Structure 1
Amino acid sequence: MSDKTLSRKDAIDSVWKLADSIDFCFLITWDGERQRARPLSARPDRDENRIYFLIGVEGEKDDQIAKFPTVSLAFADVRSHDYLALTGQAEVTNDREKIRELWSGADRAFWDDADDPSIRLLSVTPEDAELWLGPNRLIAGAKMLGAALTGAKADFGENVKVDHL
């Protein structure tokens, strides 16, 4: 992977574009002894500088976030070899208005409707990010083959760190 540098603006644009296009990510919490990862559907809102999730009230994640609000989000688009890791501050609330605003038909797989009392809103305010922008699968395969044949190292795209989103 190369260490080419995008401009700060382009890097931030890429962070939000990836978070918006990938949809599902892993939420990684800490319980004081170990990490726990859970797949969740992300609802990024760049204008609010938040990534929202609808979550169930049950489970240990609420207590973990209350005690250790720094979380990580890991997004992966394996077809294009694009990856995004975010660190930020999380908060779980019962903001019924925002829950109704974010509700979609896909949420019926988990709850009857947006007014289900067991739905909570998880908000993550991103602080730092690292992204890897790679070529699509066809190009990546060609680069791997070329590297294998020539013995050269394959260049799989850009790796960028963004502090203080």
Structure 2
Amino acid sequence: MPDSELQQSVWEALERHPVCMVTTVVDGAIRTRPMSGHVEREHHRLLFIVHRETGLVAAAGQPTGLSIAISDEARNFYAAVRCAAAEIEDRDLLARIWTPVTGAWFPGGPDDPEATLLALTPESAEIWNGPSSGVLVAFKLATAKLLGRTPDLGVNARIDMR
């Protein structure tokens, strides 16, 4: 089944901006951190190279899963995406998506024993998608005020990402 237009908008935002805020809940503690992922849309997942001993790997085993937040201000598109998480033991895949920036965190390179892959599979999302033109937003706000209406500033929807 092909992706809906709203699902596509989430994947496209991730492809344009692979850095997102990743939120975990482990033992009741909430932690959010910026991370750069590798989008594998054909496998319906995002891959992150992480330290084996971080809370991210521990969070992969939690029933609450993880969430990511996407912000594409130029397009006035925002999303909060709930994901299932799993650690993947695949050194070839890890080496294939390795970047020079990743090397700053893992001095041992792709063979660093502390490096592992975390796969996030989007399950559901809430999106906010509005007009990207500031002039158009201002016009809609002014028009709504003159007419005594609530401004139409785009879509806010909850969607299934599976």
- Band the TM-score falls in, shorter-chain normalisation: 0.7 to 0.9
**What CA distance in whole angstroms lies between the structure 2 residues aligned with 1:145 and 1:127?**
34
Q: Which residue of 1 aligns with 2:27?
A: 32
Deviations 1:109-140 (A, max 9, x none): 32232222221101011111222212225246
Helix, strand or coil: the match of 1:79? helix
- Number of corresponding residues: 159
How far does residue 46 in structure 1 lie from its aligned partner after superposition? Answer: 1.1
Judged with a 3 Å threshold, the aligned counterparts in structure 2 of structure 1 residues 109 and 141 are, in CA distance, closer, same or farther, namely: farther
Q: Which residue of 2 aligns with 1:44?
A: 39
Alignment of 1:78-89 (within 5 A): 78-89=73-84
Q: Indicate the percent of aligned positions where both proteins have the same amino acid.
A: 28
Judged with a 3 Å threshold, the aligned counterparts in structure 2 of structure 1 residues 147 and 115 are, in CA distance, closer, same or farther, namely: farther
* 2:127 partner amino acid: L
1:125 paired residue among 121, 125, 137: 121
Helix, strand or coil: the match of 2:111? coil
Deviations 1:55-74 (A, max 9, x none): 12232222232234611111
Deviations 1:6-28 (A, max 9, x none): x9621221121112112111111
Unpaired runs of at least 5, structure 2: none
1:114 paired residue among 93, 105, 110: 110
**What CA distance in whole angstroms lies between the structure 2 residues aligned with 1:32 and 1:111?**
27
How far does residue 89 in structure 1 lie from its aligned partner after superposition? Answer: 0.9
**What CA distance in whole angstroms lies between the structure 2 residues aligned with 1:81 and 1:17?**
13
**What CA distance in whole angstroms lies between the structure 2 residues aligned with 1:140 and 1:106?**
38
Q: Which residue of 2 aligns with 1:98?
A: 93
RMSD: 2.5
How far does residue 145 in structure 1 lie from its aligned partner after superposition? Answer: 5.6
Judged with a 3 Å threshold, the aligned counterparts in structure 2 of structure 1 residues 144 and 116 are, in CA distance, closer, same or farther, namely: farther
**What CA distance in whole angstroms lies between the structure 1 residues aligned with 2:110 and 2:52?**
14
Q: Which residue of 2 aligns with 1:71?
A: 66
Deviations 1:54-110 (A, max 9, x none): 112232222232234611111111232211111121012332111111112232332
Given that 1:69 and 1:90 are in contact with CA atoms closer than 8 Å, whether structure 2 keeps it comes out as no
TM-score by length of 2: 0.82
Given that 2:131 and 2:137 are in contact with CA atoms closer than 8 Å, whether structure 1 keeps it comes out as no
Higher relative contact order (CA 8 A, sep 6+): 1
